[in-house]
Amino acid sequence: MTTEVKSTSRERLLDAAATLTYLEGVNIGVDALCKAAGVSKRSMYQLFESKDDLLAASLEERTAEFAAGLLPPAADGRFPHERILHVFEQLESQAGAPAFRGCRYLAVQIELKDQNHPASQVAYRIKAKLTAFFRAEAERGGASDPDQLARQLILVFDGASARAGIGADTLTGLLAPTVATLLDAAGVR
């Protein structure tokens, strides 16, 4: 929850939706969201058409944070091999936090079970950008099949974040060797 004095009702609702959905799931009630945000239901429905729209907007709102937490700076001079590994080092590091529950975008899609839900579509789009990063680096690194390698990497990303999120694996010592094996097999520099 943000503690800035000047945050608007809209900002507080987006923050409450992102935080509570991550910790408790997409079935969190409108009452709980409004209470956490300190906003009346009437105000919420003036700002958002529905809880579904609030949820979708809250996922969109976290995009920059998601990307900044995972991706290396653009053109940082490192080889694609290292830039791809950077994402997985970040994931392993994030997974060590007690509040880690896995990738919020994967979780929302699994929970909603509805590919046409506005929040599922936002989540899908944001993850597709991560896949596109993998694909671009794979191509730049000379991968034999950049599309296939990108599919493998996002699969490892989702499997790892899911397993860490449910407490089934710490990821320690797992991701770097796994990803390196896939990069080497694809011939990525």
Q: Which residues bind a second copy (CB under 8 A)?
A: 23-25, 27, 101-102, 106-107, 109-111, 113, 115, 120, 124, 127, 148, 151-152, 154-160, 162-163, 165-169, 173-174, 177-178, 181-182, 185
Closest CB to a second copy among residues 45, 124: 124
Local structure of residue 97 (DSSP, 8 states): S
Closest CB to a second copy among residues 66, 124: 124
Q: Backbone phi, then psi, for 142, in 5-degree steps?
A: 80, 25
Are 119 and 52 in contact by the 8 Å Cβ rule? The answer is yes
Closest CB to a second copy among residues 3, 116: 116
Say how far apart CA 166 and CA 4 lie, in whole Å: 32
Shortest CB 73 distance to a second copy, Å: 27
Q: What is the CA radius of gyration of the chain?
A: 18
Shortest CB 156 distance to a second copy, Å: 6
Shortest CB 39 distance to a second copy, Å: 24
Say how far apart CA 8 and CA 50 lie, in whole Å: 18
Comparing CA positions, the residue from 105, 110, 186, 90 lying closest to residue 144 is 186
Shortest CB 17 distance to a second copy, Å: 16
Say how far apart CA 132 and CA 138 lie, in whole Å: 10
Closest CB to a second copy among residues 40, 155: 155
Shortest CB 62 distance to a second copy, Å: 17
Say how far apart CA 183 and CA 186 lie, in whole Å: 5
Closest CB to a second copy among residues 35, 151: 151
Amino acid symbol at 174 = L
